[in-house]
Amino acid sequence: RPDVLIFPPILLGGTMLLGFVLDWLHPIPLLPPVAARIVGVTLFVLSGALAFSAQRALRRAGTNVSPHQPTLAVVTGGPYRRTRNPIYLGGLGVSLGVAFFINGLAPLLLIVPLFALLHWGVVLREERYLGAKFGEAYREYQAQVRRWL
């Protein structure tokens, strides 16, 4: 299994919770309220759909979704045709949607350290694991599909 620094749902949920608290302590709005809600809901729904679709692709391929369990196959179908990390991309989008929905600068600024922790603490570690486990098949996939977008 990959040696991820932190379990991604805890990282994403913890960052959103911290964003709520910081916004509650010191609210700084981003947009007019109605516009912020529209942007937030749109990002949340689209990003959630991406993550859900990616989870379905993993299950269809017969591999585990959790990074705490071994990966059983290199998945190249569904959203994995366009990005190697659609679940994490979806999670970042959901976090961004929440930041806009609550209309707070603090949750928006937390997206930067969230991305950094996700990238260096999870994604690069997973890539090392997948490269070691699947060898050339994974390296070919890496050469064809972007890590993020």
CA dihedral 96, 98, 100, 104 (to 10 degrees): -110
Mean residue pLDDT across the chain: 96
pLDDT of 5 > 80? The answer is yes
pLDDT of 2 > 80? The answer is no
pLDDT of 64 > 90? The answer is yes
Residues 40/117, Cβ–Cβ less than 8 Å: no
pLDDT at 82: 97
pLDDT category at 99 given cuts 50, 70, 90 is very high
User: Once rounded to an integer, what is the mean pLDDT over residues 73-95?
Assistant: 97
- For 61, what's the count of Cα atoms within 13 Å in the CB-facing half-sphere? 19
C-alpha distance from residue 67 to each of 7, 23, 134, 141 (Å): 7, 31, 16, 19
pLDDT category at 1 given cuts 50, 70, 90 is confident
pLDDT category at 68 given cuts 50, 70, 90 is confident
Residues 63/71, Cβ–Cβ less than 8 Å: yes
pTM beyond 0.85: yes
Measured distance CA(56)–CA(78) in Å, rounded: 9
* 25-38 pLDDT, tens digit each: 999 999 999 999 99
